[in-house]
Each structure stands twice: as C-alpha cells, then as structure tokens.
Amino acid sequence: MTRVVVDVMLKPEILDPQGQAIQRALPSLGFDQVTAVRQGKHFELEVDGSDAGAVADQVARTLLANPVIEDFRVHVAD
Amino acid sequence: MTRVVVDVMLKPEILDPQGQAIQRALPSLGFDQVTAVRQGKHFELEVDGSDAGAVADQVARTLLANPVIEDFRVHVAD
C-alpha cells in the first residue's frame, strides 16, 4: 500500500476569493509580513498495487480536480 | 519573499465525510485500488522577512487550522 498526496490549486489566472479573504484578515491579527495567500485542496490517498502514482494521477484528473480551472500535483509519499 | 506551504488535515480520529464520499465514488469509476481517502486544505503563503516559517506557523495556528480537530504541517518552499 502506497500513500499518495494530491494537491489541487486554482490556476494562477483564476481569482481565489477564499485566499483573498484570509489575506485581508491577516493584518488586523498582526501578520503584516504575509503578502499573498492562495487556498487549495489537499488529498491523502492510500493506493494498492505497484502503479500508485499513475492511479492517483488518473483519480486526480477524473474526480479531485477540475482541469478547466485547477492544476494538481501528485507526490508519492513512500 | 519566501513561499511557505501549510497543509491542514482533520486529526486521524475525526471522521472525514468528504474523503469518505470520494472513496465511495471511486470503485464505480474503475479505481478499485484506492483503499482510503482523506481530504484537507492546502495553503500557499508568500511571507516577507527572515522568519517566514515561524510566521506561517503562527498564521496556521491562529487562522488556518482549528487545533481542536485539525493538525497542520508547515513547509518552507524556498
């Protein structure tokens, strides 16, 4: 069994209102040093078999990300 | 400016209905090899100054994660 991590982010040209809301809240909490925030999704999959990375890539493409507006990265953890 | 990534996941003992919904959908899409899915949040911050990791850790603790039910990891990207 292999642990695979998939991170899904909005493409850079797509507005990210969640990230912007966080960024706007930070100065009033004392965090002036943070100049940009973008929020995405993080998935941890456990995959059986030898081709875990390829399976996770297909899962990400089919179900986890919307390739029109999102990019994803797959990392095989062990 | 330093890029810092913060990943926020529900603690292992907390139920994750989003992850379960994904996991239940996978066999009907042909992905029988995926035995577990957990979903969390992924943040990419740009932080000014030399103590970017420490600032991001404080931001995560204060605003990005609920430490009662969530764990977070901070990685300084460059």
3-state DSSP of chain A: CEEEEEEEEECCCCCCHHHHHHHHHCHHHCCCCEEEEEEEEEEEEEECCCCHHHHHHHHHHHHHCCCCCEEEEEEECC
Q: Per-residue pLDDT for B36 more than 70?
A: yes
**Under CATH, which number does the domain A2-76 receive?**
3.30.1280.10
- CA A2 from centroid of its chain's CA atoms: 19
Q: Which of A34, A38, A64 is nearest residue B47 as measured by Cβ atoms?
A: A34
Kindly determine whether residue B58 and residue A31, on different chains, have CB atoms separated by under 8 Å: yes
Query: B2 to chain A nearest CA, in Å?
Result: 10
Phi-psi region of B71 (alpha: psi -120 to 50; beta: other; left: phi over 0): beta
Residue B27: pLDDT band with limits 50, 70, 90: very high
What's CA A14's distance to the chain center, in Å?
Answer: 14
pTM of the model: 0.93
Instruction: Give the pLDDT score at B77.
Output: 85
Residues of A within 8 A of B46 (CB-CB) are 34-37
Measured between beta carbons, which residues in chain A are less than 8 angstroms from residue B7? 7, 42
Q: Which pLDDT does position A50 carry in this prediction?
A: 87
- Integer Cα distance of B56 and B64 in angstroms: 10
pLDDT at A56: 96
Nearest to B44 by CA among A13, A28, A42: A42
